[in-house]
């Protein structure tokens, strides 16, 4: 493995889930490092995270002063793990919607050279459990909208379970991403695709959280509605960090 593997877990009020998800990650990929990025949770998540870190030198905690959105939590986490020498960086929900047991399959294409691997609900073998019909329709419609506007073939643009090669994460200048929520996930994947880097989708089963409250809101959905066309048709407000990298036709594969 070219560099260490880091799994970033943004948390806000995940006291009921954090121990189980960290334990699942460490069992699935024993060499993985876990970074918990806590936004000053009110329910003691930060304190539980500190206890986990004290008991396991593969777990670290980044405390932030308050809730500032998923995108800001991830960009802070990216900066932290890249400085620590990460070779591969995983985004993952802390509520057990993403099964830690899927991590080896998610990571495998990146180890073989893929720049970004997406855990996809919408390729053959993927799916969603315990969602209402209304929520399924809204999610699928959002993905289709983003695919149509951006003109790409990726099936699951809004998913939050993904593995980046560190070089790709640097190249897309991820710290400058302006979106939050699902639009943040779309923006990062779009940057990878727009540079012609290799994206692979692997099937996953997404499960509704068992404990705690969903962080989804109308504001997050509205942001995605206007930001997606802005990504394609608005002025580019970022540039690739590595010299010689130019936009190209996207490479998308299902794996």
Number of domains in the chain: 1
Helices (H) and strands (E) in the chain, counts: 8, 10
> Is 50 exceeded by the pLDDT of residue 75?
yes
- What number is the average pLDDT over the span 221-232? 70
Who has greater pLDDT, 33 or 215? 33
Q: What is the dihedral of CA 224, 144, 124, 255, to 10 degrees?
A: -60
> Is 70 exceeded by the pLDDT of residue 33?
yes
Q: What is the pTM of this model?
A: 0.88
Mean pLDDT of the chain: 87
CATH number, domain of 39, equals: 3.90.550.10
Spatial CA neighbour of 147 closest among 95, 189, 101: 189
Domain coverage including residue 228 = 4-254
> Is 80 exceeded by the pLDDT of residue 41?
yes
- What number is the average pLDDT over the span 17-30? 98
> Is 80 exceeded by the pLDDT of residue 221?
no
Distances (CA, A) of 169 to 62, 115, 154, 216, 240: 19, 8, 18, 25, 10
pLDDT at 238: 76
Residue 225 pLDDT level (bands cut at 50, 70, 90) = low
Residue 239 pLDDT level (bands cut at 50, 70, 90) = confident
């Amino acid at each position: 493995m070219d560099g260490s593997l880091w799994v970033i877990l943004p948390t806000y009020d995940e006291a009921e889930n954090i121990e189980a998800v960290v334990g699942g990650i460490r069992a699935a990929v024993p060499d993985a490092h876990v970074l918990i990025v806590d936004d000053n949770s009110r329910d003691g998540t930060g304190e539980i995270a500190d206890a986990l870190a004290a008991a396991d030198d593969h777990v670290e905690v980044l405390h932030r002063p308050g809730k500032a959105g998923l995108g800001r939590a991830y960009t802070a986490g990216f900066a932290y793990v890249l400085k620590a020498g990460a070779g591969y960086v995983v985004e993952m929900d802390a509520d057990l919607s993403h099964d830690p047991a899927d991590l080896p399959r998610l990571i495998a294409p990146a180890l073989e050279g893929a720049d970004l691997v997406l855990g996809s609900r919408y390729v053959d073998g993927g799916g969603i459990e315990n969602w209402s019909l209304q929520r399924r329709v809204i999610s699928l419609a959002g993905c289709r909208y983003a695919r149509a506007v951006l003109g790409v073939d990726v099936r699951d643009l809004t998913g939050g379970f993904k593995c980046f090669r560190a070089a790709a994460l640097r190249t897309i200048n991820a710290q400058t991403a302006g979106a939050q929520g699902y639009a943040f996930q779309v923006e990062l994947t779009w940057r990878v695709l727009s540079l012609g880097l290799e994206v692979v989708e692997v099937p996953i089963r997404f499960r509704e959280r068992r404990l705690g409250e969903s962080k989804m809101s109308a504001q997050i959905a509205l942001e995605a509605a206007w930001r997606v066309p802005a990504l394609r048709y608005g002025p580019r407000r970022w540039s690739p960090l590595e010299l010689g990298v130019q936009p190209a036709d996207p490479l998308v594969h299902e794996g």
